[in-house]
Each structure stands twice: as structure tokens, then as C-alpha cells.
Amino acid sequence: MTASFPALRLRRGRAAPWIRAMLAEHRLHPSDFILPLFICEGQGCEEPIGMLPGVSRWTVDRIGARAKAAWELGIPCVALFPNTPGSLRTEGAEEALNPDNLICRAVKAVKDACPEIGVLTDVALDPYTAHGHDGLVDASGYVLNDETSDMLTRQALVQAEAGADIVAPSDMMDGRVAAIRAALEGAGKRNVAIMAYAAKYASAFYGPFRDAVGSGGRLKGDKRTYQMDPANASEALREVALDIAEGADMVMVKPGLPYLDIVAAVRREFGVPTFAYQVSGEYAMIEHMAAAGGGERDALILETLLAFKRAGTTGILTYHAIDAARLIHG
């Protein structure tokens, strides 16, 4: 051996599984995950979602069992998303304020089946509008900020009354976090947390999700007047700062893997609980790649989720939560 070889060989720390485990800087745990669940009308039904292999919509009578299965694997929270029937979708999104709507019934069903698990609800109007936008629109199709914020505030109160533990405004309207926080305090719902979709980008990765909630084919135009431009990073920090100042308990970056630079910057800058959503397009890419023989599915799942942790996430919303938890448990 030449005397010039360096004394430190980093490969010594990779030589065996035990030492790799001992020196690992980041680890995944089921408590890192939030499981998104889709809800549909009906009884005793599971509706597979073609664009999301392995993911289904569940009727209210079956959603509790899905949540309980997640809890038993150590997953602490589920996120609920409704596929509202077309007959209830209107220009004014009135169904969002119905205390007996699909999402409210699902919240109650989850809490009845598994009182211990956390329930996160999506505060946005796109599951309820005829036009597929996250807010109310004017005659020209422009999404109205303040009028939408008022609707979102009322929607959040309805969800909180149903038993939601976290309300998550995903609409990107200016000022809506402050309005929701004030309304929750005024209604005595002080312990209902707000997870703000603080940096939500106008992404091409949302297509399968829109199919899952039935809003994709309805969308008129795009969402670039309210969701963020993928070119912008500094703007994300301004958005996060505003939501924290307005009372957000937690913030989210969406999508996930293509925006891990934003996740890391948010965590460094603010040090607040920071979540990321591994969105439907990301999930679908992994599933289709594995199905085509392009990679080993389990390894792809764990490697991508570990990348979220390495970037600084507190937790990850992922359709792979159940699979990942089982892999972690071994």
C-alpha cells in the first residue's frame, strides 16, 4: 500500500449493514407519514383510481377501517379528500358549507372507528365548484380572493365542528390563514391546528389527484393566477412568512421531490414544522416505473421518502404511507 493513501477511508462506515445503520444521519418512521384518503358516495364500495395504481376512493362506511389500519401501523394522521357528486357542484360551491357533506361525514366516521388518529381536512373549493377552481370566480373567470377567503373560513368552521383536528387551506388565497385562525378562536376551536399549504406551486404533477376528486375535467383555464410560479424560490419564503405571521401552526410545500430545495430553505429560514406532499404525479411515476421493470418498487418508495427527511421535512403526505410503514416494520 502506498504511504500517500489517506488515513481516513469513508468506506469503512459502509462495510456492513450494522455500521451503515449506526451511522445513518436520517431515518424514516411511520410517524413521519400522513395518509391521504379519497372519499366517494355510496355504500360498501371501493373505487380504484385508474391514474393512481393501488389507490382507491372509499365510501364513508368503509373509510374508518382504512384509518384504523393506518393507526395500527403507527401512522398518526389521515388527510381526507372528497369526490363530490357532480349534481352538488355549483358556481358558488355551496356544498362546501353543508355540515352533512361527504367530508364531514367521513371525519365523523374516522373518529368513530379510531378516535386516536388525527384527521386533516382540505380547505379549498375545487371539490365543490362546477368550474374546478379553488375559489369563486367572476364573469371573466378570475378567481376572487376576498370572497373566496370568506367561503374558506366558513368551510373550515364546518370541518372543525365535524371533528377535524387540522384544517389545511390549500387554495393560496392571500390572507385566508388569518381569517381562519380568527374564526376558529372565535368559535372556541382553539385546539384545531392550521397546516397552511404555504408554498403550493402551479404544477404539472397534480393530474391524477384531480382525476381522483373529480375536478380535472371541469377545470376552465389554469391556476397560475393564485398558485405559485415554479420558477420562483424566494417568493416561497415570503409566502411562508406571511402564513406563519397569520397563525399557521405548520406549513407545507407542494409538490414534493421537485421542490426539495424549497423544503430545505423553509426549514432553515423558519425552523417551524414543515411538511411536504408527495403528490399524485410523483406516486404514479414510481408505480409505473416499477411496473415497467425500471426499478425495485420497495427501494424506490423508501429512497424517495428518505429524500424528504434529508431535506428537513417534519412529515410527508404520501399515498405510499401504508406500504412504507410495513417496510419499516419489516
pTM: 0.95
Confidence at residue 7, expressed as pLDDT on a 0 to 100 scale: 86
Q: What is the 3-state secondary structure (H, E, C) of 82-142?
A: ECCCHHHCECCCHHHHCCCCHHHHHHHHHHHHCCCCEEEEEECCCCCECCCCCCCECCCCC
Instruction: Say which of 189, 200, 223, 309 is annotated catalytic.
Output: 200
- Write the DSSP symbol of residue 217: G
For residue 175, being part of any structural domain is answered with: yes
- CB distance 304 to 286 below 8 Å: yes
Q: Is the pLDDT of residue 2 over 60?
A: no
Q: Is 254 a catalytic residue?
A: yes
- With 70 as the cut, is the pLDDT of residue 17 above it? yes
Distance CA 259, CA 43 (A): 39
Q: How many domains does the chain have?
A: 1
The answer to the question of residue 242 being in a domain is yes
Question: What is the average pLDDT across 221-250?
Answer: 97
Residue 13, domain member (yes or no): no
Does residue 85 lie within any of the structural domains?
yes
Task: Give the 3-state secondary structure of residue 222.
Answer: coil
Mean pLDDT for all residues in the chain: 96
Q: Hey, how many other C-beta atoms are within 10 angstroms of the C-beta on 289?
A: 14
Is 189 labeled as catalytic in the residue annotation? no
Amino acid at 305: L
Q: Cell triple for residue 228?
A: 405559485
Q: Per-residue pLDDT for 1 more than 80?
A: no
pLDDT class for 158, splitting at 50, 70, 90?
A: very high
Residue 82 bridge partners (DSSP): 39
Inform me whether the pLDDT recorded for 216 exceeds 90: no
Domain contains 97: yes
Distance separating alpha carbons of residues 277 and 122, to the nearest angstrom: 13
Query: If pLDDT is split at 50, 70 and 90, which confidence band does 221 have?
Result: confident
Q: Which of 111, 189, 254, 309 is catalytic?
A: 254
- Residue range 88-105: mean pLDDT, rounded: 97
The predicted structure's pLDDT at residue 210: 86
Closest C-alpha among 167, 193, 197 to residue 277: 197
CA distance 88 to 86: 5
Please give the pLDDT value at position 3: 62
Structural domain of 49: 28-329
Predicted confidence at residue 304, as pLDDT, reads 98
Q: What is the CATH number of the domain that holds 203?
A: 3.20.20.70
Report yes or no on 6 lying in a domain: no
In a domain, 19, yes or no: no
Give 283's pLDDT tier (boundaries 50, 70, 90).
Answer: very high
Q: Is 12 among the domain residues?
A: no
Segment 81-105 mean pLDDT: 97
pLDDT digits (tens, 9 = 90+) for 29-45: 999 999 999 999 999 99
